Amino acid sequence: MNPTVRLALEEDIGSGDVTSSACIPEAQMAAGRFIAREPLIIAGLGLLDEIYATHVALLKQDGDTCTAGETIATIRAEARLLLERERVALNFLQRLSGVATNARRFADAVAGTRCRVLDTRKTTPGLRHLEKRAAAAGGVTNHRMGLYDAILIKNNHIAAAGGVRAAIDRVSAASHLPIEIEVRTREELREALAAGAGHLLLDNLTPAEAAEWVREIAGRSKVELSGGITLENVRAYAESGADYVSSGAITHSARAVDISFRLELE
């Protein structure tokens, strides 16, 4: 079982669902339906079989659009089992579908540009793999999963290393992974380009400033924009000519969407 699912079940059920055990005969069977209560992009469906430890019939797949009132999945099992695991299932579906729905809005906002939207590491602790999977289901591109699978030299690394050139030289000598480096001034930009940086992170620029910097870079490096990028302004940043825009809001500001579970006794 997925350890995150196991912890969620242990947290909620503990020593047992005292309400369901008291109210419902042990042998009572039931059917249940997961229903979208608003338009959304569904994600997290792969967890349902693990949560219920039995087969769940999926009527949708991660990344699909659901309309209000549409049935997403159905299940048949003991009524006690369905009720004791209902909240955990809904918590995962609502949270992950909220991320996917938010991601789809960002992806749609830059449609027609050559810019791709990236997610970030600003995720719920313990849920990163699930939230990044949901973001990808929504249509954005996963950035690095953690500190271990990609190099991103940020301002504090530059300060600690003694400058842009020193940071790039040290990383190049220590690793064969592609290098991305954050630059905050035109001087740092030119130093990074001179050092052969292939991926630049430009932080906290306005869309107009970003367009100026992109023109100066002139294709010599991939360009990612970050800092203050929201659903309202992401299109303007994408139109600056950057290759990527990244936004923590895709995950950290996603609203849980409304999904319900309807039980019918047999």
Listed in order, the ranges of the chain carrying CATH 3.20.20.70 are 105-252
Using the predicted structure, report yes or no on whether residue 266 has a pLDDT greater than 90: no
Q: pLDDT (tens digit, 9 = 90+) per residue, 238-255?
A: 999 999 999 999 999 999
> What global pTM score does this model have?
0.95
CATH class for the domain made up of 3-104+254-265: alpha beta
Q: How confident is the model at residue 12 (pLDDT cuts 50, 70, 90)?
A: very high
Task: Provide CB contacts within 8 A for 232, sequence distance 6+.
Answer: none
CB 99 within 8 A of CB 138: yes
Q: Are 82 and 30 in contact (CB under 8 A)?
A: yes
Cite the active site residues. 87, 122, 154, 182, 203
Residue span(s) of the chain under CATH 3.90.1170.20 come to 3-104+254-265
pLDDT in tens, 127-143: 999 999 999 999 999 99
CB neighbours of residue 156 within 10 Å = 9
- Cα distance between residue 142 and residue 136, in whole Å: 6
pLDDT in tens, 161-180: 999 999 999 999 998 888 99
Residues 15 and 170: their CA atoms lie apart, in Å, by 53
The mean pLDDT of 229-239, rounded to a whole number, is 97
SS3 readout for the chain: CCHHHHHHHHHHHCCCCHHHHHHCCCCCEEEEEEEECCCEECCCHHHHHHHHCCCCEECCCCCCEECCCCEEEEEEEEHHHHHHCHHHHHHHHHHHHHHHHHHHHHHHHCCCCCCEEECCCCCCCCCHHHHHHHHHHHCCECCCCCCCCCEEECHHHHHHHCCHHHHHHHHHHHCCCCEEEEECCHHHHHHHHHCCCCEEEEECCCHHHHHHHHHHHCCCCEEEEECCCCCCCHHHHHCCCCCEEECCHHHHCCCCCCEEEEEEEC
Query: Taking Cα atoms as reference points, which of 30, 133, 125, 40 lies closest to residue 84?
Result: 30
The type of residue at 209 is: E
What is the CATH architecture assignment of 105-252? Alpha-Beta Barrel (3.20)
